[in-house]
Amino acid sequence: MSVLGMTRTTIGNLLSRPSTRRYPTKVKEPHRTPKSRGRIQIDIETCIFCSACAKRCPTDAIIVSKPDKVWEIDRLRCCTCNACVEVCPKKCLDMDFRYTLPTVTKDKDIFKQAPRPPKPPESAAPEVPAPPG
């Protein structure tokens, strides 16, 4: 009887656990795959502010300021295409599998490199005694 074609599936579903979860109390863990594209992360201390990521970005979401040592990203413009991660020469950009959480403001995420202590002055080369003779 073809009217009851769905019955087997329905009974199976009654006896098994639901495929869905009770959302507000049980939030889905992000589908953890090494390739998942969630959001861009930066290790600002290794960044050299070369602007390669900003030039490659198709949505102009990244702004880099070398004099101020500031790296900005507009998460709402970013399309998580991974182009900046592929082009980064220092590999300081990374793709996180977690998605950006919803926001109510259009703020940019701003990363500023802490000023580094000035390099110690190069010590004078040790005087090499002139070879005898």
Partner 1 sequence: MGTRTVIPFGPQHPALPEPIHLDLVLEDERVVEAIPKIGFVHRGFEKLVEKMDFNELVYVADRICGICAFIHSMAYCQAVEAVMNVEVPPRAVFLRTVWSELARLQSHLLWLGFMADVMGFESLFMQSFRLREKIVDILEEMTGGRIILGVCRVGGVRRDVANDTLAGIVGRVKDLAKDMRRLADVFLQDDSVKHRMVGVGVLTREQAADLGCVGPVMRASGISRDTRTLGYAGYGFVDFSPVVETAGDSYARCAVRIRELFQSVGLIEQAAGKVPAGEVSVKVSGYPDGEYHSRCEQPRGEVIHYVKGDGTRYLQRYRVRTPTFANIPALVKMLQGCELADVPILVLTIDPCISCTER
Task: Please identify, using beta-carbon distances, which residue of 70 and 87 lies nearer to partner 1.
Answer: 87
Determine whether 118 is exposed, middle or buried from the number of CB atoms within 10 Å of its CB (0-12, 13-18, 19+).
exposed
Build a one-symbol-per-residue string for 90-119: x at contacts with partner 1 by CB under 8 A, - elsewhere.
-----x------------------------
Task: Please identify, using beta-carbon distances, which residue of 1 and 114 lies nearer to partner 1.
Answer: 1
Build a one-symbol-per-residue string for 18-37: x at contacts with partner 1 by CB under 8 A, - elsewhere.
-x-----------x-x-xxx
106, 76 in Cβ contact below 8 A?
yes
- Among 96, 88, 93, 77, smallest CA distance to 37 is for 96
6, 48, 76, 110: residue in contact with partner 1 (rule CB under 8 A): 6
User: Which residues of the chain form contacts with partner 1 (CB under 8 A)?
Assistant: 2-3, 5-6, 8-10, 13, 19, 31, 33, 35-37, 58-59, 79-83, 86, 95
